[in-house]
């Protein structure tokens, strides 16, 4: 699969599997291009993957909406709770929101609607619309992607990948879980092959982000 094919794959609403690295979380996430999200996508994320379903955008766009990291918010009132995770990076979490038009916010339809509206306001960089149309706390956690030179988590890898594919830099993803534990890379590869879902490793994403043509890349 070359870069053009990968772009067409994700923009059509199909997921990819993304592994960060053995030096970090050693985690596989199921990733969708946020502008193409549907209630069916949310259903697949919670049944095939099973982890927390998150919406990610670049930090620089989040700042335009008035967003900041949750760690910065918590430091003011609960400083003793703000600790760096074992994998070594500060979390990417910001606010958890619902769109004001949803019912409870947790259904597949509600979360898909909240995400689609987040894409709209993030694409516009419209802080006033964001404050008017969303409520917090809600059921969709917003993650803010730093630069890959600063952090190489699934948030950064997925968002910067979309940007490199000349797509809007917004993603939705959840960790792929196994019984009681995170799914191993080996088992994720089996699922990737059986379901025909491309699996990329973080190092491959980094190479794509730095590429400027449609040359072939290996996607396992």
Selecting among 109, 127, 139, 163, the annotated active-site residue is 139
Assess whether 33 carries a catalytic annotation: no
Question: Under a CB-based contact definition with an 8 Å cutoff, are residues 28 and 17 in contact?
Answer: yes
Assess whether 213 carries a catalytic annotation: no
Assess whether 154 carries a catalytic annotation: no
Selecting among 20, 29, 110, 204, the annotated active-site residue is 29
Assess whether 87 carries a catalytic annotation: yes
Assess whether 23 carries a catalytic annotation: no
Selecting among 19, 54, 201, 204, the annotated active-site residue is 54
Selecting among 25, 33, 98, 108, the annotated active-site residue is 98
Q: What is the 3-state secondary structure (H, E, C) of the chain?
A: CEHHHHHHHHHCCCCEEEECCCCCCCCEEEEEEHHHCCHHHHHHHHHHHECCCEEEEEHHHHHHCCCCCHHHHHHHHCHHHCCCCCCCCCCCEEEEEEECCCCCCCCHHHHHHHHHHHHHHHHHCCHHHHHHHEEEEEEEEEEEECCCCCCCCHHHHHHHHHHHCCCCCCEEEEEEECCCCECCHHHHHHHHHHHCCCEEEHHHHHHHHCCCCCCECCCC
Selecting among 25, 156, 175, 201, the annotated active-site residue is 175
Assess whether 54 carries a catalytic annotation: yes
Catalytic residue list:
29, 54, 87, 98, 139, 175
């Amino acid at each position: 699969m070359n870069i053009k094919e990968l772009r067409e794959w994700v923009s059509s609403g199909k997921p990819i599997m993304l592994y960060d690295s053995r030096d970090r979380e050693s985690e596989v996430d199921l990733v969708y291009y946020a502008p193409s999200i549907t209630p069916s996508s949310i259903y697949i994320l919670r049944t095939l993957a099973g982890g927390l379903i998150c919406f990610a955008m670049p930090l620089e766009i989040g700042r335009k909406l008035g967003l900041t990291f949750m760690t910065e918010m918590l430091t003011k009132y609960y400083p003793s709770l703000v600790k760096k995770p074992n994998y070594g990076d500060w979390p990417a979490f910001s606010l958890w929101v619902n769109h004001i038009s949803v019912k409870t916010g947790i259904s597949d339809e509600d979360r898909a609607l909240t995400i689609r509206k987040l894409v709209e306001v993030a694409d516009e960089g419209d802080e006033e619309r964001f404050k008017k149309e969303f409520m917090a706390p809600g059921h969709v956690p917003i993650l803010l992607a730093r630069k890959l030179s600063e952090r190489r988590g699934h948030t950064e890898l997925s968002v910067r990948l979309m940007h490199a594919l000349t797509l809007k830099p917004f993603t939705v993803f959840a960790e792929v879980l196994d019984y009681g534990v995170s799914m191993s890379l080996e088992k994720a590869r089996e699922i990737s092959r059986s379901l025909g879902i491309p699996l990329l490793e973080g190092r491959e994403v980094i190479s794509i982000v730095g590429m400027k043509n449609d040359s072939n890349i290996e996607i396992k």
